[in-house]
Amino acid sequence: MPDTSPPKKVVLAYSGGLDTSIILKWLQQELGAEVVTFTADLGQGEELEPARRKAEMLGVRKIFVEDLREAFVADYVFPMMRANALYEGTYLLGTSIARPLIAKRQIEIAQQTGADAVAHGATGKGNDQVRFELAYAALDPSIKVVAPWREWAFRSRSDLIEFARENQIPVAKDKEGEAPFSVDANLLHSSSEGKVLEDPAKAPPSIVFQRTLSPQEAPDRATTVTIGFQHGDPVSVDGEALSPATLLARLNDLGRDNGIGRLDLVENRSVGMKSRGIYETPGGTILHVAHRAMESLTLDRGAAHLKDELMPRYAELIYNGYWFSPEREMLQAAIDHSQRHVEGTVRLTLYKGNVIVEGRASPSSLYNEAIVTFEDDRGAYDQKDAAGFIRLNALRLKLLASRGRS
């Protein structure tokens, strides 16, 4: 039988914003629980010390504020990039891939501090509740989970504001009214959805875009960049070796300035509804194009095509919250095996929203100019061999034709 008693100590994924501050107080006041806060720096671009100070003001004694940018990129973003993962053909999974790391650290902190529960601020309509809670279950099946948005009585923004005032929780002036849309951000991307964006027929207002210039505003001159790869991971930009997070940040800057990485998407949420989101993934878009170019030179045809067949399933697993599932780990092992010889450099031109491959080179290249040339190949390839190949592949088509195709 599951333990239905109230939690005694809860590790809360805490941003320091209005919603999670109300959740913090609600956990203390309504459940009588001691709250431990965990604030992760995943490169969202916000100062995190205010979150620490706010937690202290609300009486929290154990506060964790951690810089996880390098771990995020090296252990989550790059493995996903090795797969060329795109959800529904276009989405680079920027929000989805951040949740497993946050959940993992919450469980570790719960075990470290003796907490018997974890809590998140995801709503009952979204994907994140699923992602967090599937990760919790995979990492510690005995942990209690508190999902306030599915449990409390608040029904509107004004209810939250009133609760904040009653409990002396500071409310920023720009939070007094309805925010025009909801934003989630990390080093890989930013996403905006809800409210003003809920009509998919309407173009997003320019204020939505925070990480990229529009292609129209981007410079009229092209930018050239060279990315180096080892074992499928990017390791350098223009010959300079960089750490994973530093490299992604560098490419974010280049992508931002050249209007790269915008996406307006209507997607299928794991909970069953469709939603419209505006995504900006400047560095990730550049990496995706560069990695596929590197693979085009170094992957065998059979391996490359199998990877492309596996990718939608892999991407769906991440989107739906199954990062810690055995099937994702099995796929990751196959993907990582394919990356042993994905090494070399890719030269790209960035121009007004476009990422254009200009050249690629690899010490492990499978491209053989002596075989592929239209000039004299000096016996490297006997063109007469193609006749038998064609006859064998045509045999079944001839049999079908002789029978008639009805």
Q: What is the pLDDT at residue 172?
A: 63
The Cα–Cα gap between 87 and 93 comes to 7
- Averaged confidence pLDDT in the chain: 94
Taking the complete model, does pTM exceed 0.85, yes or no? yes
Q: What is the pLDDT at residue 373?
A: 67
Q: What is the pLDDT at residue 157?
A: 73
Topology (CATH) of 9-69+95-178: Rossmann fold (3.40.50)
Q: What is the pLDDT at residue 156?
A: 76
Q: Is the pLDDT of residue 329 over 60?
A: yes
Q: Is the pLDDT of residue 331 over 80?
A: yes
Q: What is the pLDDT at residue 161?
A: 86
Q: What is the pLDDT at residue 406?
A: 57
Residue that wins the pLDDT comparison between 289 and 373: 289
Range 342-369 average pLDDT: 96
Q: Is the pLDDT of residue 232 over 60?
A: yes
DSSP classification of residue 91: B
The two three-digit tokens of residue 165, written as one number: 């005032």
Q: What is the pLDDT at residue 173?
A: 54
> String of b and e for 105-140 (b: at least 16 CB within 10 Å)?
bbbebbeeeebbbbbbbbbeebbbbbbbbbbbebbb
Over residues 35-51, the pLDDT tens digits come to 999 999 999 988 899 99
The band of 171, judged by pLDDT with boundaries at 50, 70 and 90, is confident
Is the separation of the CB atoms in 140 and 14 below 8 Å?
no
Residue that wins the pLDDT comparison between 169 and 64: 64
Q: What is the pLDDT at residue 47?
A: 86
Percentage with pLDDT > 90 across the chain: 83
Lowest mean pLDDT among 164-168, 192-196, 307-311, 374-378: 374-378
Residue that wins the pLDDT comparison between 178 and 218: 218
Over residues 2-16, the pLDDT tens digits come to 677 899 999 999 999
Q: Is the pLDDT of residue 369 over 60?
A: yes
Active site amino acids:
19, 99, 128, 182
Q: What is the pLDDT at residue 335?
A: 98
Percentage with pLDDT > 70 across the chain: 96
Q: Is the pLDDT of residue 376 over 80?
A: no
- Which CATH architecture is the domain 183-299+341-361 placed in? Alpha-Beta Complex (3.90)
Nearest-10 crossing angle of helices 157-166, 18-30: 60
Secondary structure class of 356 (helix, strand, coil): strand
Task: Give me the residue spans of the domains in the chain.
Answer: 9-69+95-178, 183-299+341-361, 370-403
Q: Is the pLDDT of residue 361 over 70?
A: yes
Helices (H) and strands (E) in the chain, counts: 14, 14
Range 215-240 average pLDDT: 98
